[in-house]
Structure 1
Amino acid sequence: MSIQNTVDLEAFRRDWDNWHRWHETVRADRHGFLAITGLHFLSGSPERFVDAPGAWSAGPDGVVVELADGEELAVGGATVRGRYAFGVIPERGGVNAVAGDAVIEVARRGGHHIVRPRHPEYATRLNYRGTPAFPPDPRWAVPGRYVPFAQPRPTTVGSVVEELRHVYEAPGRIEFDIDGQPLSLTAFDGHRPGTLTILFTDATSGVTTYAANRSLQVDAPAADGTVILDFNRATNLPCAYTDFATCPLPPAENRLPVAVEAGERIP
């Protein structure tokens, strides 16, 4: 079941076009994921990288950079030289330092401290020509029901980086059906309070859509748990474009046995 019989098709497609243009603009931001030039895992020994100033290390007290004479970074609008401690960075947190035209992302992913420089002139960004997508179709705006768990469930998932693991809190699942087939997806907390994020694969994965994962943002459920899964807005994660991402894989139960021919396709 979908909302296809109750929508203005022209307005539906116009809204999707506006959303898709906005999403592409964000993706191609001068310091977005397409601008990343390296994924550097830090250890206790200071190490230099070709795409960032300083010698970087990490320990129990967090990330430290040692800047040589003539090197500097801007952190929080203030210029820093010499030794600078970023402190303890929480999981999935990060700090951006500025070095000329570049942004140096200092973050923690899967329990590891990382540095990811982002250079606007990187070829991956400059050569980006957009992502193909299935035509928007109200059939794929599927109503569902959010079922919260008694307690949020810590859920460990894999990563596109071998041996890296992510742990997310799953507050509940979404139940729905496609062509009469009952299905469900485990949901994680979304980017805004009350919203939900779905990571999934389906029968199109590796055929017409990106093999590892796709992501779907879901508005906060109504008081009765009603939600809309608008698969037309299923997007690729950054790992579809760069080897320097640490994207999570969907939990095993989020591998749908149906072909969801909606949303973004293989870049």
Structure 2
Amino acid sequence: MNVQDIDRAGFVEEWKEWHRAKEETLAGPHGFLAITGLHWLSPEPARFEDAPGSWSVTADGVVVELAEGEELTVDGAVVRGRYGFGIVPERDSRYADWGDARLEVARRGGHDILRPRHPDSTLRTSFRRTPAYAPDPRWVVTARFLPFEEPRPVTVGAAVEGLEHVYDSPGQVEFELAGVRHRLTAFNGKEPGGLMVLFTDSTSGVTTYAANRSLQTAAPGPGGTVTLDFNRAGNLPCAYTDLATCPLPPAGNHLPVAIEAGERIPLERGGQP
């Protein structure tokens, strides 16, 4: 895709809509900014200040024991006493409501966790916006998807020290920037057949978040053609809060160039407007 082929006014408006929707999800009543705790569950029952009940992990999955007068709402039904969430698959989540709060029961890196989300979280109520580079069509790059014969499991680190994630990688994306060829390992994206690339570059830790940024793509087209729009390189939740377990980029997914596009260091982490 050539820069001259892009309708600049429409391009900017589409980027603004993408950024607005992303901010809306992040700062929603039960978005990541509403999280008040990251509680690691174990066989030993434990209570937490920001959630009712006593929580533990059993052979049948996560269980909560609600005391007299305590209740949760799960899938529209009120539950009291002992309630089992079952075995939660890796990278999946289940939810229960407690007043205006939402409790997330999840499994990350082989560990069961509880993350309460309260709309009155200070991080959420004080949130203003995420700084970003002005959208520029020159950061829209045509790449080629190079599939593996079979998906390969790739182990990556996490924002939480000592935690690891394992993702199946369907292949790599190859592209050129300033005449230099690069390859990045890709994971499955949000859209059917789409890709997700985690990366760092020379702006990481300077103007963009140090640990990672994420880029989603549509499914590869004819001949494996993929469009990488670095204007949509976005922050993961760990850029805002230490209560996230975000994956780090795979080894080799560092670009030795400055990708001056996409979201920048959040104001909450000392970023500049």
Coarse TM-score class (shorter-chain normalised): over 0.9
Deviations 1:76-115 (A, max 9, x none): 1111100111111000011010000000000000000000
Scaled by the length of structure 2, the TM-score of the pair is: 0.96
3-state SS of paired residue (2:203) = coil
3-state SS of paired residue (1:261) = coil
Structure 2 distance, partners of 1:3, 1:242, is 38
Structure 2 distance, partners of 1:60, 1:136, is 50
Structure 2 distance, partners of 1:255, 1:60, is 40
Structure 1 distance, partners of 2:158, 2:20, is 28
The answer for the alignment partner of 1:173 in structure 2 is 172
3-state SS of paired residue (1:201) = strand
Identical-residue share of aligned pairs (%): 63
The answer for the alignment partner of 1:66 in structure 2 is 65
The answer for the alignment partner of 1:55 in structure 2 is 54
Whether 1:103 and 2:102 are equivalent positions in the alignment is yes
The answer for the alignment partner of 2:233 in structure 1 is 234
Deviates more, 1:59-68 or 1:101-110: 59-68
> Unaligned stretches of 5+ in structure 2?
267-273
Q: How does 1:2-13 map to 2 (within 5 A)?
A: 3-13=2-12
| Shift >6 Å, 4+ stretches | none
Deviations 1:167-209 (A, max 9, x none): 0000010000100000011110011210111110000000000
Structure 1 distance, partners of 2:156, 2:67, is 39
3-state SS of paired residue (1:172) = strand
Structure 2 distance, partners of 1:42, 1:8, is 51
What residue identity is the alignment partner of 2:250? P
3-state SS of paired residue (2:252) = helix
Structure 2 distance, partners of 1:17, 1:161, is 31
The answer for the alignment partner of 1:191 in structure 2 is 190
> Unaligned stretches of 5+ in structure 1?
none
The answer for the alignment partner of 2:270 in structure 1 is none
The answer for the alignment partner of 1:39 in structure 2 is 38
Scaled by the length of structure 1, the TM-score of the pair is: 0.98
Deviates more, 1:71-80 or 1:107-116: 71-80
Structure 1 distance, partners of 2:112, 2:120, is 25
3-state SS of paired residue (1:139) = helix
3-state SS of paired residue (2:261) = coil
Structure 2 distance, partners of 1:115, 1:91, is 14
1:60 deviation in Å? Answer: 2.7
Structure 2 distance, partners of 1:242, 1:214, is 15
3-state SS of paired residue (1:113) = strand
The answer for the alignment partner of 1:15 in structure 2 is 14
1:3 deviation in Å? Answer: 2.8
The answer for the alignment partner of 1:151 in structure 2 is 150
3-state SS of paired residue (1:224) = helix
3-state SS of paired residue (2:21) = helix
The answer for the alignment partner of 2:139 in structure 1 is 140
3-state SS of paired residue (1:252) = coil
Q: How does 1:77-96 map to 2 (within 5 A)?
A: 77-96=76-95
